[in-house]
Structure 1
């Protein structure tokens, strides 16, 4: 692999792992998930989890986030029509 294998300076040599992802949809506006005592109430993630580029989460949490993002996407598509 070369340093040009990624679209950022230094390529993937700066990271211990690269994880391929397929982007299925993109929302224009963020969804807001509230925090209580440094813990995001819908996901159980705490503020320390957001200091990294990626954090582990359960399938249940990932499915709920996927649903919220899909709902936002549908709302934005309806607004455009």
Structure 2
């Protein structure tokens, strides 16, 4: 796992970039400055589960994922 350096909001260099990560167990958003540093306090995460069926298939609920993405974006922007 790569450790990303963090910077305070006051020391962040624009432009700022909102990153969205939709993973197999977590949806998260983070904001980075132009130097690729994560900005302290500007992140959000929501857990979710992938459904696995007896046939071996796995499926995510796209409506739930979309709602979680918007929830994360709303929280991250509100913290900014």
Asked which structure has the greater CA Rg, the reply is 1
Q: Which has the higher contact order (CA 8 A, sep 6+)?
A: 2
TM band (smaller chain): 0.3 to 0.5
Q: Normalising by structure 1, what TM-score?
A: 0.32
Larger strand share, 1 or 2: 2
Larger helix share, 1 or 2: 1
Q: Normalising by structure 2, what TM-score?
A: 0.32
